[in-house]
Amino acid sequence: MMYPLNHVASTLNPKSSLQKILAIDIGAGTQDVLLYNSELTPENCISLILPTPSRNFARLIERCEGDIFIEGDPIGGGAIPSLLKSHIKKGSRVIMSEDAAYTLRNNINEVREYGIQINSSGLNDFNGTKICLHEIDFALLKEFLANYGEDLDIDLVAIAVQDHGTQPEGTSNREFRFKMIEERLRKDNRPESFVYTYDEIPACFKRMKAVARTAKMQSRSEVLVMDTSFAAILGCLQESQTSLFVNVGNSHTLAAMISEGKIEGVMEHHTSCLNTEKLDDLIARFMKAEITSQEILNDGGHGAVILNTKIDDKKEIIVTGPNRGILKNSRLNVRFAAPHGNMMLTGPYGLVKGAQLKYSTCKT
């Protein structure tokens, strides 16, 4: 049965179940919010599709005149790097704390090359505009939902963001991101292995750690985090336990071979590099295990890894993501997924599924 999703016995608090989960999927274009309540059918749960936080900060920067000091968390960059470079060209200073600077690049020296000053000690005598970056505003969301009689008394916050990680010197961030994915996959190829508690987040994932820390402090709840691409794949698993799943996001496109609920292969590229013909070709060769990670990396993507299996190219391919229209005229056997009738909530439903798998042996 697809709904309602099951109650989950929580190891967070043995006396309670995860009845209410606040799931937030922060992408390049939107942040998709689901207040999952196990006492309701998913279709009746509160949901919101809002602009991604980086867009709001970008508008703020665009309106600034004079010097800017930016502190706070590393967040998704979006238009922020190009706007700051333009601001410097106009003759103004841009100063950032080290944590906030990871918004622009995963290498602080590269941020300095933009002409940005790094200062994490604070500027008491600064006379320009001060901006504090964050991707979670629990108080604002709580105030908004209070207008509809919702007290936001939740058991868990689950958040998805995309994080390339801070790579070692001499390694590209694309190569490093996929290296981390492949290592995780070879260690444990269950989809839930990509679900992290706060203490499990690798130190190199600074954005992921920051958003989890902020959510934990603001909500006073336990927190889980995932990469956005894998949250989308988990959200599609109700469609099938064995198939090829493709998430065509605003920034990244990730394809995952799933066999009996296990991830047997992953390929990731940049959506901006793809059109229908090219993505069709990559998917077809990926399904036949005829593609290499180096080929994808050389083409500006991240990589590919295939563990144990091939998938029949006649099998249905399940597609989601805001740019899924790229595959509208595909020559392949594609079907667009819409978990519980809403494609934009694929990531949040994946986060709920991840929480269930993480904290219980119950099955949906």
CATH topology of domain 240-336: Nucleotidyltransferase; domain 5 (3.30.420)
pLDDT number for residue 138: 94
3 pLDDT more than 50? no
| Cα-based distances in Å from 204 to 166, 209, 305 | 5, 9, 21
Q: What tokens were used for 30?
A: 């939107």
Write the CB contacts of 236 (distance below 8 Å, at least 6 apart in sequence).
Answer: 245, 247, 318, 320, 337, 339, 346, 350
Under a CB-based contact definition with an 8 Å cutoff, are residues 161 and 206 in contact? Answer: no
Q: Rounded to an integer, what distance in angstroms lies between the CA atom of residue 34 and that of residue 266?
A: 27
**How many other C-beta atoms are found inside a 10 Å radius of the C-beta of residue 51?**
12
Instruction: Give percent of the chain with pLDDT exceeding 90.
Output: 72
Q: In sequence order, which residues have a C-beta less than 8 Å from that of residue 249 and are 6 or more positions away?
A: 27, 28, 228, 229, 232, 271, 321, 322, 323
Burial of 293 by CB count in 10 Å (0-12 exposed, 13-18 middle, 19+ buried)?
buried
Domain with CATH 3.30.420.40 in the chain: 1-239+337-364
Tens of pLDDT along 281-322? 999 999 988 999 999 999 999 999 999 766 665 678 999 999
pLDDT single digits (tens) 109-138:
999 999 999 987 767 778 899 999 999 999
How far apart are alpha carbons 5 and 40 in whole angstroms? 9
State mean pLDDT over 150-169. 90
pLDDT tier for residue 2 given thresholds of 50, 70 and 90: very low
Tokens of 229: 């691409």
User: How many whole angstroms separate alpha carbon 356 and alpha carbon 4?
Assistant: 13
**Which amino acid belongs to residue 219?**
S
Q: Where are the alpha helices (DSSP H) in 6-137?
A: 53-62, 80-89, 98-101, 108-113
Q: Please give the mean pLDDT across all residues of the chain.
A: 89
Task: Say yes or no to pLDDT of 5 above 60.
Answer: no
Paired tokens of 327: 């595959």
21 token code pair = 């989960």
Category of 152 on φ-ψ map: left (φ > 0), alpha (ψ -120 to 50) or beta: left
Average pLDDT over residues 21-49: 95
pLDDT, position 362: 40
pLDDT of residue 311: 64
Tell me the C-alpha distance between 204 and 216, whole Å: 19
Parallel, antiparallel, or unpaired for β 156-161 and 20-26? parallel
Q: Any idea what DSSP says for residue 55?
A: H
What is the architecture of the domain spanning 1-239+337-364?
2-Layer Sandwich (3.30)
Per-residue confidence band for 203, with pLDDT thresholds at 50, 70 and 90: very high
> Which amino acid belongs to residue 199?
D
pLDDT grade, residue 157 (50/70/90)?
Answer: very high
